[in-house]
Structure 1
Amino acid sequence: MAKWIIGAVALVAVITVTAVVAVSCTKSNGGSDKPTAAPTTSGAPTSDFASANDTGPVSVITEDPSCAPWFPVQQTLADSEKNGWIQRDPSIPADVWTPALRSQYEGVRTALRNAADQTVPLVKLTTHRVMRELYEQFVAYARAYAERIPIYTPPDNELSNVANYATQVISDICQAIEYGSAAARAPRTLPAALPTQPSPISASAAPPRFMPEPDHNCGTWKDELDHFDSNPAVVAWRSVSPNIPAGRWSPEERAINEAVLPALQSSANELEKLGRESNNAVSEDVAVLAAQYRRAFAEATPTYSPADTYLENLPRSATALLISACAAAGGN
């Protein structure tokens, strides 16, 4: 998926879960020369959650044991959604579904429930707090959507969007690990500040939705994304093929890639600011994650390779997750 395609995706549109995000290219700003902080841990584990002692800054994740078992869960769910459900019109409520459409929804309902159940063990397996939160929210929103299917109405589609965006963020993290871009760029990414208040660990196998009511800054997330996308430097940057590594850029392409760095840095700063103002521990962690990956992507510019696209895909998916969660909670 090329940069310009990613930029054109409607944030509240129906998005299918994809098992592997196609390699594309994008770049981020926010350079720095300090190493990225690893998850903060101290002493012996205090529970059977591997992330129990991760109370430190959110950072670019360079390894995680949950990625390997996550990929087949995601792939199976993606395959199940190819029963025609992907092409559905989400504006059609359940009370007027055709038998064929109802069958498609019921098939996805079963697949979502299975995927959620299979994801629950990964909540304990991951060593990173923010990955734990992402797995929990996939479980929570996938189950919430599945429960609504028998009486589905169009607003329920936002529940599906949150679950799908959560899978995309997790995939971007794991693909950046798999293709080496996270390890290559993380050492030069400035560490973020400590979280305002780390989210608590819950032993429940039925995690709650992180945003049952809209955050006070819900109306700002989409404004920030729209502001970023409309920036002339960003528009020009998305016109450059993401499959061209830095060593093969023309002088014009290099100039365009370098010119976008201030916009990317500004966006990263704003995402982090909004997250820290949200008064929601998960919103904050997801927003800071987006900011850190955008900054890491900026560090890739001088030696950019197509695999670095996962670093830039993540901020868009993470921001979309927050926008859809707001909508699902009844916010703007």
Structure 2
Amino acid sequence: MTQPPPPPSGPWGPPGGYPGNAPGPQWNPQQGWPQTPPPAPKRGLAKWIIGAVALVAVIAATAVVAVSCTKSSGGSDKPTAAPTTSGAPTSDFASANDTGPVSVITEDPSCAPWMPILTTFANSTNDEWKKRDPSIPADLWSNELRSQYQAAGQSMRRAAEQTVPLTKLTTHRVMRELYEQFIAYARAYADHIRGYTPEDDHLAVTAVTITEVLSNICQAITYGSAAARGPLVSPGSSPARIAEISNPSDPERFLTKPDAQCQDWSAAMDHYGADAAVNAWLQIDPNIPASQLTPEQQATTNAAVPVLQSFADQLTQMGAKSDNPTFQDFAALGSQYRLAYLQAIPTLASADNYLYDAGRYAPGIVRNACESAGI
């Protein structure tokens, strides 16, 4: 297995794919895959529960998720209603006419301004806050810890404000929803800091998990894996209902109370995270090219693939059962990116792992949003 070329020194630290100070090799469609990607960090075992320290544990919390997507049944599954807006003209949004199936995104004009926002956000967050113990409530904070939380809240507010214009710039509905939800959850976390309780950490985790998905979608575009693998994946069904376009200055969280699928979603993720075949696969050094796997490593990979596919189908079915259109879109997003990665396995290149990470983080958004809503 190989990893995508990660930033040499990302501000959150590996693994994750946040942009670092150095851009790394850039994708050029005339040249093919990047020629000299830096070594990738070891994936490690799948983790599913938020640890007691380090915001970087957000990465572990969202787990390795492989999702399949239901195939379109034909022309009878068109949306029953076009999206409406809450306080903003539809014509202001480049994604307003995106009412079809969620798919792998091969280009998006919002990626260029998003990556500097993300880098600034990550670099402005105090390292000690990243190592915090989120189980400590506000009434037990030291003055130093309180200052760290307040600074983190300010960083989230700034990043959320900078993200507002991107909701109109992106041409993809699901990207707009990701930006909307980052704004909503980042601001909600900042609002809860004064009276912080351990449950409020799920707001921060949801916001940062969204930044992981956005980062990896954009990196898959930059390094060419989205364009190379996306066309291999059949589109899913068009949604029966589209989420309203939020007021970008004040979007609402997509889950303010638990969805009917929340418990099954988390249970399925826990079950998958404990699977022996998947955990054995995760032990393979990601710096080994697919063409150089030993027979044993190839057998381990082959054993994991049907588990990934089976679990994918299960998550897709749960997403389809939800009455929440944003929940459905995030489930479909993870599905499409995981399907693209599974298609890539026989000829895997390091940049394909941006597809993998986009697919594994997307369901983590749903899980942590469920937790923040009181699952």
Question: What does residue range 1-20 of structure 1 map to in structure 2 within 5 Å?
Answer: 1=15, 2=41, 4-5=43-44, 7-8=46-47, 10-11=49-50, 16=55
Aligned to 1:37: none
Question: What does residue range 226-305 of structure 1 map to in structure 2 within 5 Å?
Answer: 226-305=270-349
Q: Deviations over 1:77-131 (max 9, x none)?
A: 1112234110111111112211111111111111111000000000111111011
Alignment pair present for 1:129 and 2:173: yes
Alignment pair present for 1:59 and 2:67: no
Aligned to 1:215: 259
Amino acid at match of 2:158: N
How many Å apart are 1:201 and its aligned residue? 1.4
CA shift in 2, pair 1:83/1:11, >3 Å: closer
CA shift in 2, pair 1:281/1:185, >3 Å: same
Contact 1:33 1:188 in 2 (8 A): no
Amino acid at match of 2:124: S
3-state SS of 1:5 partner: coil
How many corresponding residue pairs? 317
Alignment pair present for 1:193 and 2:240: no
3-state SS of 2:46 partner: helix
Q: Deviations over 1:264-292 (max 9, x none)?
A: 11122112111111110111000111111
Contact 1:31 1:298 in 2 (8 A): no
How many Å apart are 1:9 and its aligned residue? 5.6
How does the TM-score come out when normalised to structure 2? 0.79
Which structure features the higher share of helix residues? 1
Contact 2:65 2:359 in 1 (8 A): no
3-state SS of 2:164 partner: helix
How many Å apart are 1:306 and its aligned residue? 2.0
Contact 1:137 1:210 in 2 (8 A): yes
Structure 1 consecutive aligned stretches of length 4 or more whose deviation exceeds 4 Å: 11-15, 26-34
Contact 2:104 2:337 in 1 (8 A): yes
How many Å apart are 1:190 and its aligned residue? 1.5
Q: Deviations over 1:288-311 (max 9, x none)?
A: 111111111110111112221121
CA shift in 2, pair 1:111/1:46, >3 Å: closer
3-state SS of 1:59 partner: coil
Q: Deviations over 1:18-47 (max 9, x none)?
A: 9xx9xxxx896869999xxxxx9x9xx951
Amino acid at match of 1:272: T
Amino acid at match of 2:113: P
Aligned to 2:358: 314
Judge which range, 166-175 or 240-249, deviates more.
Answer: 240-249
How many Å apart are 1:14 and its aligned residue? 5.8
CA shift in 2, pair 1:239/1:311, >3 Å: same
Q: Deviations over 1:238-275 (max 9, x none)?
A: 11112222122222222222222211111221121111
The correspondence for 2:201, drawn from 127, 132, 157, is: 157
3-state SS of 2:158 partner: helix
Question: What does residue range 135-154 of structure 1 map to in structure 2 within 5 Å?
Answer: 135-154=179-198
Unaligned runs of 5+ in 2: 1-14, 16-40, 73-78, 83-88
Judge which range, 3-12 or 92-101, deviates more.
Answer: 3-12
Contact 1:32 1:189 in 2 (8 A): no
How many Å apart are 1:204 and its aligned residue? 4.2
RMSD: 2.6
Q: Deviations over 1:201-247 (max 9, x none)?
A: 13341000100110011101121112222222212211111222212
Contact 2:281 2:300 in 1 (8 A): yes
Distance in 2 between residues matched to 1:290 and 1:50, nearest whole Å: 23
Judge which range, 263-272 or 286-295, deviates more.
Answer: 263-272
